[in-house]
Amino acid sequence: MISASKPIEGSSEPRVPLEQAAILITGAAGGIGRACVIACVKQGWHVFAAMRNKQEGQERLREALQSSGLNNVAQSADLLTLLEYDVSDSKQVKAAFAQIKKSPYELVGLVNNAGLMKDSLLGMTSLDDFDMQMLVNVRASFLHLQLASRLMTKNKQGSIVNVSSVIGLDGAPGQVAYSASKAALLGMTKSAAKELAPLNIRVNAVAPGFINTQLTHDYSAAKRASVINNIAVGREGQPEDVAATIMHLLSAQSAYITGQTIRIDGMMSI
């Protein structure tokens, strides 16, 4: 075990002025990703919105920004930078970080949100599907965590949020591979939080429950009803419910919270 040491004095004060502060969000064109982009822009942070397909993603993001009354954001280089890369390609990820480093902004936040879910029973899960979920959900998040924390070390300010899942905490039939990948994120969160705390970089995870996005779009009406039946608050979650907690974790309001996993699930039982 390598121990971390030397805490930074007065560590809860943001060091980077708001106008220079930037947040990187992966999977930014997805449901939860778009809600995070909107919330971060409203907060006044510059957003690096990472997506696999810029043409498609940009359009989805523009529509979402417009329906939130943020009409000019998509065109404003001061507010938003679109990054196009596949999170599973480490070369592309490193190139994206080089672009962030060269920009006039300082990275103060990362939302490791890009994710892949492939439902299948244990006996019917191919190793390729297992590897793919580990690659996108775990390995890519690890690389982002590693590179982001290096940029954040310079300013000794940062907050990283890993988007896990209640499935990573509780497990579910048909989701052995997905739950393994999301549980791995929780271990990563706790260890990184301990290691990076002396550098004033916080690492937390959120564990969303059943959220209305593309990821759950294919659920049949019957399956949807049965899931909602097991949610105490009686409804599915919205991407904004998740973004609100992520915002809290990114902001200085949560300066004394690190290494935690917060469920955002309306008290769901699986």
Partner 1 sequence: MSTIEQLNAAFVSALDIDEKQISDELAYNSIEEWDSTAHMILIAELEDQFDIMLDTDDIIDMSSVAKAKEILQKYDISF
Chain positions contacting ligand NAP, by CB under 6 A: 27, 29-33, 52-53, 86-88, 113-117, 136, 163, 165, 208, 210-211, 213-216
Q: Is 4 in the site for partner 1 (CB under 8 A)?
A: yes
- Whole-number Å distance between alpha carbons of 70 and 140: 30
- 64-72 contact pairs (CB < 8 A, 24+): 64/34, 64/35, 64/37, 64/38, 65/37, 65/38, 65/41, 68/38, 68/42, 70/38, 70/41, 70/42
Kindly tell me which of 41 and 143 has the beta carbon lying closer to partner 1.
143
91-110: contacts with partner 1 (CB under 8 A):
94, 97-98, 101
Kindly tell me which of 101 and 224 has the beta carbon lying closer to partner 1.
101
CB 163, CB 190: distance < 8 Å: no
How many of the other CB atoms lie within 10 Å of CB of 206? Answer: 26
Kindly tell me which of 182 and 202 has the beta carbon lying closer to partner 1.
202
Mark whether 178 is an active-site residue: yes
Kindly tell me which of 7 and 44 has the beta carbon lying closer to partner 1.
7
**In the set 150, 223, 226, 235, which binds partner 1 (CB under 8 A)?**
150
**In the set 36, 151, 188, 192, which binds partner 1 (CB under 8 A)?**
151
Of partner 1, ligand NAP, none, which one does residue 11 interact with (CB within 5 to 8 Å by kind)?
Answer: none
Of partner 1, ligand NAP, none, which one does residue 3 interact with (CB within 5 to 8 Å by kind)?
Answer: partner 1
- Whole-number Å distance between alpha carbons of 164 and 122: 20
**In the set 11, 43, 76, 153, which binds partner 1 (CB under 8 A)?**
153
**In the set 119, 198, 238, 255, which binds partner 1 (CB under 8 A)?**
198
Choosing from 85, 105, 178, 219, the catalytic residue is 178
Size of the site for partner 1 (CB under 8 A): 17
Q: Is 146 in the site for partner 1 (CB under 8 A)?
A: yes
- Whole-number Å distance between alpha carbons of 158 and 235: 33
Binding site for partner 1 (CB under 8 A): 2-6, 94, 97-98, 101, 146, 149-151, 153-154, 198-199
Catalytic residues: 178
